[in-house]
Amino acid sequence: MAIVLFSGLVLAFFSVESFASASPGPQGGSVSLTGIMPASPPTTAATIESPANGQHFTTSPITVSGTCPDQTLVVIYKNDIFGGSTPCPDGSFSLKVDLLIGQNTLVARDYDALNQAGPDSTPVTVYYDALPAQGAPLSPLNLPEKQLLLNTDAVYRGVFPGQQLNVPISVIGGTPPFAINIEWGDGTNNIIPRGDNSTFNATHTYKKPGTYIISIQATDSAQRLAFLQVTAIVNGVPQTIASTSAGSTPPTNQLLVLWPLFAIAISVVTSFWLGEQREKRLLTHAAQA
């Protein structure tokens, strides 16, 4: 009887420990997931401190710099055309931007980690005086013959190490053929020949996570130059999600199976004890008679 009672105490102890370890986590056979909860977009606009409003330039690209909310991505637009992007790790940014010939209205816009845009900066208007003064801003649809421009829709591209990164690149204007030199920011570069102005995908695979600055430069047959800077974000390696395999039995379930067996053992031992007590009483009564 003492052995059975001791076994019951041990079983109770391990049952309590098992239920405590299983709660409040996921139940047996479930999968635990983590993710990024949606948040409000940035509310503070980036500012362009250089160049100054109304400034004229005779060379391109120029350096655009200013302030921005920490840990955002700053994108520069020129006449509503993507001009380049750069991270903002410490409240300031600086990047090179190729200008359109004539008037350029520059706007900075910051993006958070969820690619949500904040408010636009105060516009800054500058001029690229490669040709006589223009009456209106130029766009890629009416570029003069001498203008060569690179463009992309890639604000940033998020991939994991070992995955292929695709950056669509458009060569606008200029005189073919073209030579496109891409520095990927990890010490490697590619030279891609192009015979026309069609859009193409440049591809690369990064080995380590991080933020990389991609510098793209184009040269045409007349030795004109174009420049574009793009930020690529390579995420950390995703962790393997652990779950209970289909063929295994959780410890809690195994303990639940033992409780009925313990109850049967208690019943058997109790029955023997009661029978023994009854026999003792009968023998005692017979001896007294």
Find where tokens 């990927």 sit: 184
The neighbour count for residue 47, using CB atoms within 10 Å, is 15
Residue 17 has pLDDT above 90, yes or no: no
**Predicted local distance difference test score (pLDDT) of residue 269:** 54
The predicted structure's pLDDT at residue 134:
44
Higher pLDDT, 111 or 131: 111
Q: Which residues contact residue 53 at a Cβ distance below 8 angstroms, ignoring those fewer than 6 apart?
A: 124, 125, 126
For the chain, domain boundaries: 40-143, 145-239
Per-residue confidence (pLDDT) for residue 191, from 0 to 100 = 94
**Under CATH, what is the fold of the domain 145-239?**
Immunoglobulin-like (2.60.40)
Please tell me which residue, 22 or 3, carries the higher pLDDT value: 3
Domains 40-143 and 145-239 share a fold: yes
Nearest to 116 by CA among 155, 80, 145: 155
Domain 40-143 has CATH 3.30.390.10: no
pTM exceeding the 0.85 threshold for the entire prediction: no
pLDDT tens, position by position, 142-192: 455 568 899 987 667 778 999 999 999 999 889 999 999 999 999 999 999
pLDDT computed for residue 40 by the predictor: 85
Q: Tens of pLDDT along 115-147?
A: 899 999 999 999 998 754 444 454 444 455 568
pLDDT in tens, 19-32: 555 444 444 444 44
Q: Of 2 and 220, which is predicted with more confidence?
A: 220
* Res. 80: pLDDT tops 60: yes
The predicted pLDDT at position 138 comes to 47
User: Cα(280)–Cα(80) distance, rounded to whole angstroms?
Assistant: 103
Contact 258, 234 (CB under 8 A): no
Model confidence band, residue 241 (pLDDT cutoffs 50, 70, 90): very low
pLDDT of residue 261: 53
